[in-house]
Structure 1
Amino acid sequence: MPPLTDFARAAGLLLLAIQGWLLFVLLVRLAPGHSRRPPVAPRRSPRGDTTVSVIVTTLNEVHRVGPCLEGLMQQQEPLLEVLVVDSRSTDGTRELVQAAAARDARIRLVTDDPLPPGWVGKVWALENGLREAKGDWVLGIDADTVPAPGLVGAVIDAVEQDGYDVASFSPQFRDQTPTERFVQPAMLTTLVYRCGAAGATQPPPDRVLANGQCFVARRDLLLRHGGYAPARASWCDDVTLARHLAHHGARVGFLDGSKIIQVRSYASLSEMWREWGRSFDLKDATPMRRRWLDVALVWAVQAMPLPLLLAMGVAMAMGARNLAASPDAMLWRALLLVNGLALCIRLFMLWALRGSYAERGWSFWLSWLSDIAAAWRLTLSTARRPKAWRGRAFESLPA
């Protein structure tokens, strides 16, 4: 193998320095994961020492909210009420909720007030639900989730066990198409790389992660801090609110809820790419400089190691005889070591995330091959600010 040119050698050294530094950052973020608590288990018996108000926000969810309501009707104490806050659906959602309310008196249909300027629709619906809630705890549940029996009691057990004021729970994904299972786990991995694992020790407030699909908080704490208003204009309202409360002294947790709540997937890969990709860069909860550093980390230690290893393998095969005597042999070995370690970590993450998917199959196990697509989607999400969600335009939201 002929020696590298000065430019190529300098580029290789720069790449090694960047990847080595970002790999160290990743290892520091992932290190607490070795002691993370196991998935929260459902509670099998009622408890009457506290109360929980569940808020479900809906806008034309007739094809998705039914299993959610069925799951909530199976809950025991401490569930006090289920407030379904509807934003004037026109597809039969309201009628479905009213039929459920006729079967279970704890369910109540609430219509939110007209959306004021500067608010995202879902956050405004949550705020309206908070005004109606009477429970000691407020638990936000998305309409596309399927709560397991015993979810409400398990959530309260978990937060009280660890002394949390606020907590959210990662779900188990189900009913995904093979193409979704090929791409979505790679996108999910970027979240772990950027924020750490669910159930690990509490990170600094500006690294707190949250999931609005199952988000619980003390009602009095929310009221003292302005309800959901701190996240009123946020596309990642769950993370924005959690970090706001953490900055103000609340103890905030992010736990593995794969045994207590499932999420039904988007209807297609394109819908998942568009709707989930809209907010998963956490743009409204993270300073721009840090978001772009996270983009660089994902590219450097998640997306690029495999193609770099393949390219180096080809180059080494073409000049294998002279590699040991090459003046650049140390650089090659260092790049191989860094990228090989990064790839091993990535494959381990696939194994660690397996419990988050009800169905896996070959597309899940090969999802690490879509890391470049996930990094590209993160880059697009970071560079663009969305202006619409679920058919609503939000041109007036502040950046």
Structure 2
Amino acid sequence: MILTWVLTAVCLLLAAQLVFALINSRALPVPGKRTRTIENRPLVSVLIPARDEERNIEECLNHVLDSDDSEYRIEVIVYDDDSSDDTGGIVRRMAMEDHRIRLMKGDELPEGWKGKCYACHRLAEQASGSWYLMLDADVRVGRLAIRDTLRSAMKKKVGLLSGFPKQITGTWMERLVVPMMEFVILCHLPMPMVARSSSRLFSAAHGAYMLIKRSAYESVGGYEALKNEMVDDMAMARAVKQAGYKMMLADMSKHAQMRMYHGAREVWEGFSKNMFAGMGRNYVLMAGMLLWYTALYILPPIALLIGLFSGNLHLAAFSGLAMLLGMTVKSVCDIRSGLPAWRGVFMAATVCCTLAIALASVAGGLNGKGHTWKGRRYG
């Protein structure tokens, strides 16, 4: 009886979550829509931090160089962050063929800095543009991506425009976990408030694609003010808001794509490094997140089995309805991200994997071992 009442409450919460996700999906702007031509061809500095990106950097640069730059000019600066592969060699050879590319050889990482923050800091020091595009090496931009995001940023007069590229996934762990980044945003962050509110609470960004106005970057103190931040994109978004600039979170799925991780190990290491840090290392917030996702997405399939085996069809019916609602919420978010709707069927498995990574993220902080990523250890 009690479990049935709990499942009834879960169904109501999931119905509310579905409505919220639908509203958010419609509110997420697509760059370039109903925007004017850019005047005076501003210079955009495309800044790419690269550490062991041999498999990505050439294709990334080719896509950038193939962009429609009729309304702006670009310079491309790549920071070779002590790569152990041929990342620097590839960039050097491409720079000899295209004067728009420059290669920066990385310095030794100073004490107190996180690797990506320092790379972006050094890149910004060398940039000449009035706009900086912080771009990860695994991103493939479309021909109109830079033009359309620049148009939207200038029209809306924002200091920062960021968005989630379409996520290309190759293994099941990638398919289950990687799309959860955008799922969390669409299910918990009221999208209209990102643009309208000056509060830091309504901030989000994806570090793979961040277009930042130079004056906004300088106003927040650049990456030097964020040098020890593990989740630097979220920290930059909050800092831009705090400095009095507006920001825009956009749907980049039609403008850019990326394969963020290759295989289960990279997914595990990448997310466990960031997840607890992204919650401000707040144990109460983490516990609340674990409880929320367990109740909404793990409890229903367990209750369904209990209902079926015990002959409690009332419980089974509410459990099945809760599972269907949870899958629909996931499908709505996946469709908005440019992914197949059928992946929502695996919502329970997705949440199980995500919660396991969350616990590993917390454990890495508790046992003092931290987490390893690309040969560096982070506490």
TM range (shorter): 0.7 to 0.9
Q: In the alignment, which residue of structure 1 is the partner of 2:220?
A: 225
- Cα distance change, pair 181–304 in 1 and its aligned pair in 2 (3 A): same
Structure 1 position 242 matched with structure 2 position 228: no
**Does the Cα contact within 8 Å between 2:109 and 2:118 map onto a contact in 1?**
yes
Asked if 1:106 corresponds to 2:87, the answer is: no
Q: Does 1:148 align with 2:142?
A: yes
**Which of the residues 356, 360, 365 maps onto 1:380?**
360
Q: Distance in 2 between matches of 1:283 and 1:71?
A: 30
Output aligned runs, 1:360-371, within 5 Å.
360=340, 364-370=343-349, 371=351
User: Residues of 1 paired with 2:303 and 2:21: CA distance?
Assistant: 23
1:102 offset after TM fit, Å?
Answer: 1.6
| Structure 1 CA distance for aligned equivalents of residues 243 and 12 of structure 2 | 31
Give the SS at the match of 1:353. Answer: helix
Match of 1:88, SS state, is: coil
Q: Secondary structure at the match of 1:124?
A: helix
1:85 to 2:79 alignment: yes
Structure number with greater Rg is: 1
How far did residue 237 of structure 1 move?
A: 0.8
Unpaired runs of at least 5, structure 2: none
User: Does residue 130 in structure 1 map to residue 151 in structure 2?
Assistant: no
In the alignment, structure 1 residue 278 sits paired with structure 2 residue 258: no
The alignment status of 1:353 with 2:315, answered yes or no, reads: no
1:10-25 correspondence to structure 2 within 5 Å: 15=6, 19=10
Measured after TM superposition, the shift of residue 90 of structure 1 is: 3.1
Q: Share of identical aligned residues, percent?
A: 22
1:299-378 residue pairs with structure 2 within 5 A?
299-315=294-310, 318-319=311-312, 336=318, 340-341=321-322, 343-354=324-335, 356-357=337-338, 360=340, 364-370=343-349, 371-378=351-358
SS at match of 1:278: helix
Conservation of the 8 A alpha-carbon contact between 2:47 and 2:76: yes
Instruction: Tell me by how many angstroms 1:224 deviates.
Output: 1.9
**Preserved CA contact (<8 Å) 1:32 1:200:** no
The question of whether the paired residues in 2 share the 8 Å contact of 1:169 and 1:210 is answered with yes
1:256 counterpart = 2:251:
yes
Displacement, 1:132? 0.9
Size of the aligned set, in residue pairs, is 370
Deviations 1:229-250 (A, max 9, x none): 2322122110111112223322
In the TM superposition, what is the alpha-carbon distance from 1:20 to its structure 2 partner?
Answer: 7.6
Which has the higher mean CA deviation after the structures are superposed, 284-293 or 344-353?
284-293
Question: Which moves more between the two structures, 200-209 or 22-31?
Answer: 22-31
* Change in CA separation of 1:310 and 1:27 when aligned onto 2, cut-off 3 Å: same
3-state SS in 2 of match to 1:277: helix
| Separation of aligned partners in 1, 2:239 and 2:116 | 18
**TM-score scaled by length of structure 2:** 0.83
- Alignment pair present for 1:392 and 2:372: no
Residue 94 of structure 1 and its aligned partner are, at CA, apart by 0.8
> For 2:229, what is the secondary structure of its paired residue?
coil
- Between the aligned partners of 1:89 and 1:158, the Cα distance in structure 2 is 35
Is 1:69 paired with 2:61? yes
Structure 2 match to 1:52: 44
Q: Distance in 1 between matches of 2:192 and 2:208?
A: 14
Mapped partners of 1:293, 1:319: distance in 2 = 30
Q: Which amino acid aligns with 1:392?
A: R
Q: Aligned partners of 1:356, 1:167: CA distance in 2, in Å?
A: 17
Please list the CA deviations of residues 228-281 of structure 1 after superposition, one character each: whole Å capped at 9, or x if unmatched.
Answer: 123221221101111122233221221110111110242212221221332134
Structure 2 CA distance for partners of 1:319 and 1:294, relative to 1, 3 Å: closer
Residue 327 of structure 1 corresponds to: none
Question: Please, which moves more after superposition, 224-233 or 138-147?
Answer: 224-233
Deviation digits for residues 367-392 of structure 1, max 9, x if unmatched?
32412222332333245333432101
What TM-score results when the alignment is normalised by the length of structure 1? 0.80
Distance 1:16 1:145 in 2: 41
Correspondence for 1:36 among 23, 27, 43: 27
Partner residue of 1:171?
A: 165
Distance 1:150 1:46, change over 3 A: farther
Q: Does the CA-based 8 Å contact 2:194-2:203 persist in structure 1?
A: no
- Kept in 2: contact 1:230–1:241 (CA 8 A): no
RMSD of aligned C-alpha atoms?
3.4
Q: Is the 8 A contact 2:167 2:178 kept in 1?
A: no
- SS for the counterpart of 1:205 is coil
